[in-house]
């Protein structure tokens, strides 16, 4: 009897894992897809994907959109996200910090976190320059491509970092290979200095600044970042870092702090 119950519990757990895989896949693709397309691209049995998609549709987690049986993330997820934000007051504080940074520097300010073993921009405020730098909020990016990534994994051991980051993520957008040991050396540099800056790996004209926003455990639960035109960023390095450090100090512990009252 216990073995049967354990098997049933295992199947439910695998189904839940698969459901989250479907949701994450749609979020990353940013487009509506047919269930058979989802199954093919995530390498899952079509029958189980169809069953889970139907269950998610019934509960409003997915919705039909675009015709021909295509599905995408449903409005129920918006309400769940709103409930999460209502429980934590870091969102309001984060928005204020980003607005202040953008006003002080005229550059694009970002609040960034890890999403599993990927980096993502959670909030962004564009700068006041005529030429504006923008990023897709919520899009997952390999950790080694980012300045923030060096800070967000700094609490891990060298081996844990190598285990955590998929090997293919060390392949940079231009096709070059970033040696993992070089990345780890940069992580330790970021850990010592409490910041990381570099010319962007993703494009050829921006310079990126990142400082940690520390959670209750003392390591970087998130980062505050500036993305600037390369020449301006280098010329204003010290001032921009001062602005970031002051803003981050006001947010320390905020990513894990529940709303008061």
CATH code for the domain of 106:
3.30.450.40
Residues 31 and 97 in one domain: no
Q: Which of 38, 64, 82 is the last residue of a domain?
A: 82
Phi–psi pair at 245, nearest 5 degrees: -65, -40
The answer to whether 113 and 129 have CB atoms below 8 angstroms apart is: no
Residues 107 and 228 in one domain: yes
Work out how many domains the chain is built from and give that number. Answer: 2
Does residue 253 lie within any of the structural domains?
no
Does residue 228 lie within any of the structural domains?
yes
Structure token digits, residue 111 = 């609040």
Q: What residue numbers bound the domain in which 2 lies?
A: 1-82
Residue 115: pLDDT band with limits 50, 70, 90: confident
Phi–psi pair at 43, nearest 5 degrees: 70, 40
pLDDT value at 130 more than 70: no
Residues 111 and 143 in one domain: yes
Helices (H), ranges, the chain: 2-29, 35-42, 46-58, 75-87, 90-105, 147-152, 158-164, 180-193, 230-235, 237-249
Residue 4: pLDDT band with limits 50, 70, 90: very low
Residues 217 and 127 in one domain: yes
Phi–psi pair at 224, nearest 5 degrees: -105, 135
Residues 141 and 203 in one domain: yes
Q: Which of 30, 53, 82 is the last residue of a domain?
A: 82
Residues 140 and 179 in one domain: yes
Residues 136 and 169 in one domain: yes
Residues 158 and 217 in one domain: yes
Does residue 261 lie within any of the structural domains?
no
Name, of 26-30, 86-90, 243-247, the range with top average pLDDT.
243-247
60: left (phi over 0), alpha (psi -120 to 50) or beta: left
Does residue 259 lie within any of the structural domains?
no
Mean pLDDT calculated for residue range 107-116: 91
Q: Which of 56, 82, 108 is the last residue of a domain?
A: 82
Q: Quick count: other Cβ atoms within 10 Å of Cβ 202?
A: 15
Structure token digits, residue 131 = 């030429």
Measure CA of the first residue to CA of the last residue in the chain; give whole Å.
47
Does residue 71 lie within any of the structural domains?
yes
Phi–psi pair at 163, nearest 5 degrees: -70, -30
pLDDT given at position 22:
92
Does residue 260 lie within any of the structural domains?
no
Taking the model in full, what pTM does it have?
0.71
Does residue 255 lie within any of the structural domains?
no
Residues 19 and 102 in one domain: no
């Amino acid at each position: 009897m216990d073995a049967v119950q354990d098997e049933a519990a295992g199947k439910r757990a695998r189904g839940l894992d698969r459901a989250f895989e479907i949701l994450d896949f749609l979020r990353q693709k940013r487009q509506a897809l047919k269930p058979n397309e989802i199954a093919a691209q995530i390498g899952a049995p079509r029958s189980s994907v169809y069953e889970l998609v139907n269950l998610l549709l019934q509960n409003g987690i997915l919705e039909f959109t675009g015709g021909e049986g295509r599905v995408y993330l449903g409005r129920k997820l918006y309400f769940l996200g709103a409930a999460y934000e209502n429980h934590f007051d870091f969102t309001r504080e984060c928005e204020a910090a980003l607005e202040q940074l953008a006003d002080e520097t005229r550059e694009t300010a970002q609040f960034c976190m890890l999403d599993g073993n990927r980096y993502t921009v959670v909030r962004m405020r564009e700068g006041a320059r005529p030429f504006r730098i923008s990023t897709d909020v919520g899009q997952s990016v390999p950790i080694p491509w980012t300045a923030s990534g060096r800070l967000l994994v700094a609490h891990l051991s060298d081996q844990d970092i190598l285990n955590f980051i998929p090997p293919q993520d060390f392949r940079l957008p231009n096709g070059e290979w970033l040696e993992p040991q070089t990345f780890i050396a940069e992580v330790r540099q970021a850990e010592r200095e409490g910041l990381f800056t570099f010319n962007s790996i993703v494009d050829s004209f921006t310079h990126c600044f990142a400082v940690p926003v520390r959670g209750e455990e003392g390591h970087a639960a998130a980062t505050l970042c500036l993305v600037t035109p390369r020449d301006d960023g280098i010329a204003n390095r010290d001032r921009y870092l001062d602005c970031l450090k002051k803003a981050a100090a006001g947010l320390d512990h905020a990513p894990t702090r529940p709303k008061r009252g």
